[in-house]
């Protein structure tokens, strides 16, 4: 008998936007500049998950809203769910409008120091972005996980992790693949999928954009789209 669960609510080519002027690393400061807050004190950013290794923070901005300037101290993988009209403004820099599609991913390092910025939602729709912060300064695992094959697509890979994108049509399934321990899963679209781990009951998942799950145990499984519309997932294997 299949069990039905919901992801804990939030909380195409690779897109890497660590460009000059987009985010500006700053030297470590004993005290934050006036008008700047820690990311955990920014009202539109909420910690949705934390386990000492990673921390998932969701930024939800009403349309037309601009966040406070806030500081990021850790390397982070960013996933965009609603981003039409989204804009970024580095501290003491210029506001940069972005043209990001839903499901866009990027990595921002903090190895050269924390970075400070603020973000704005577009005037026509709210913005929803999640960042998976890597709270250890170096990779904890070697890059030894098995590569996945279509319909998985590698969206981004670097020494801190590998991001896969999975798009399934109604009734479509993946082949058997290995999901390593230390994997973050984000739903980009609404829909329903089933997961069939080897030797375990089928799991049914009802998805909404931004829903998140952290996986602590390695397993081999298949994923099937059980709904009537295409679904899209992003999985981040953290090294």
Query: What is the per-residue DSSP string for the chain?
Result: --EEEEPBTT---------TTTS-B----SSPPTTEEEGGG-TTEEEEEE-SSEEEEEEEE-TT-BPPEEEE-SEEEEEEEE-TT-EEEETTS--EE--PPTT-EEEE--TT--EEEEEE--SSS-EEEEEEEE-SSS-SS-S-SPPP-TTEEEEEEETTEEEEEEEE-TT-BPPPEEE-SSEEEEE-S-EEEEEEETTS--EEEEE-TT-EEEE-S-EEEEEEE-SSS-EEEEEEEE-
Which pLDDT tens digit goes with each residue over 9-33? 443 333 344 333 444 444 445 589 9
Which pLDDT tens digit goes with each residue over 74-84? 999 999 998 88
pLDDT at 143: 58
Q: At 192, is the pLDDT very low, low, confident or very high (cuts 50, 70, 90)?
A: very high
Which pLDDT tens digit goes with each residue over 142-154? 556 789 999 999 9
Which pLDDT tens digit goes with each residue over 85-139? 999 999 999 999 887 889 999 999 998 889 999 999 999 999 999 999 999 987 7
CATH topology of domain 36-134: Jelly Rolls (2.60.120)
CATH of domain 3-7+140-238: 2.60.120.10
pLDDT at 15: 39
CATH 2.60.120.10 domain span(s) along the chain: 3-7+140-238, 36-134
């Amino acid at each position: 008998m299949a069990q039905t669960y919901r992801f804990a609510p939030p909380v195409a080519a690779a897109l890497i936007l660590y460009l000059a002027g987009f985010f500006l690393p700053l030297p470590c400061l004993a005290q934050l500049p006036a008008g700047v807050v820690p990311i955990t004190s920014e009202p539109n950013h909420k910690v949705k998950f934390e386990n000492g290794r990673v921390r998932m923070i969701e930024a939800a901005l009403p349309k037309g809203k601009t966040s406070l300037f806030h500081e990021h101290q850790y390397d982070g993988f960013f996933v965009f769910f609603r981003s039409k009209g989204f804009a970024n403004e580095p501290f003491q820099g210029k506001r940069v409008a972005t043209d990001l599609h839903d499901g866009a991913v990027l990595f921002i390092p903090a190895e050269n120091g924390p970075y400070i910025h603020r973000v704005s939602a577009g005037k026509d729709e709210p913005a929803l972005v999640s960042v998976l912060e890597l709270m250890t300064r170096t990779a904890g695992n070697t890059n030894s996980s098995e590569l996945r094959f279509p319909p998985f697509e590698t969206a981004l890979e670097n020494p801190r992790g590998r991001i896969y994108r999975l798009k399934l049509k109604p009734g479509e399934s993946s082949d058997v693949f290995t999901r390593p321990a230390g994997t973050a899963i984000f739903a980009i679209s609404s829909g329903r999928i089933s997961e069939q781990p080897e030797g375990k009951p089928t799991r049914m998942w009802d998805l909404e954009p931004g829903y998140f799950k952290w996986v602590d145990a390695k397993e081999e499984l298949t994923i099937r789209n059980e709904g009537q519309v295409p679904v899209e997932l992003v999985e981040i294997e953290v090294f």
